[in-house]
């Protein structure tokens, strides 16, 4: 398989080819969408949510997730930034931090499924996954 792009370094080219061969390569331009834009689209597509759940998700996004991470392009969101955000939120709002993290993880997992990013930056150990965020209601 040939690369259709040029690279500044051989290392960059090697990484690109290795990722392509693993099936993990994602076009970097798809990761340029902001977290805010992707999160809003994610919420709009979730037609299976009850009104109370949708309201809770909007609140978590507007008050706890987007103020810290909104303008970050999906492809530039790093695990260290997510971890710092989560730990800061946990210090201020322990009960809410778990729900906000689960919501962010669900949104970013969908970004992986949709091919916008290769992997999710949600790597915090501790918050339990919630099947309720991804299961239709």
Model pLDDT for residues 48-80, shown as the tens digit of each residue: 999 999 999 999 999 999 999 988 899 899 999
What are the residue ranges spanned by the domains of the chain? 27-134
Query: CB count, 10 Å around CB of 75?
Result: 18
C-beta separation of 24 from 119 below 8 A: yes
Q: What is the pTM of this model?
A: 0.72
The residue ranking higher by pLDDT, 14 or 114, is 114
Per-residue pLDDT at 137: 39
Q: What is the mean pLDDT of the chain?
A: 81
Domain 27-134 architecture? Orthogonal Bundle (1.10)
**Structure tokens, 64:** 């706890």
The DSSP output letter for 77 is -
CA angle centred on 53, ends 48 and 56, rounded to 5°: 145
Per-residue pLDDT at 33: 87
């Amino acid at each position: 398989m040939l690369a259709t792009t040029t690279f500044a370094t051989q290392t960059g080219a090697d990484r690109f080819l290795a990722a392509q061969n693993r099936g993990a390569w994602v076009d970097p331009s798809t990761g340029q969408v902001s977290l805010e834009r992707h999160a809003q689209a994610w919420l709009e597509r979730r037609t299976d949510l009850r009104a109370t759940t949708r309201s809770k998700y909007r609140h978590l996004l507007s008050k706890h997730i987007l103020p810290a991470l909104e303008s970050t392009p999906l492809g530039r969101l790093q695990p260290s930034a997510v971890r710092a955000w989560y730990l800061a939120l946990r210090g201020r709002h322990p009960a809410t931090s778990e729900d906000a993290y689960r919501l962010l993880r669900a949104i970013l997992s969908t970004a992986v499924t949709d091919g916008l990013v290769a992997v999710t930056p949600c790597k915090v150990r501790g918050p339990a996954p919630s099947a309720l965020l991804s299961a239709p209601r």
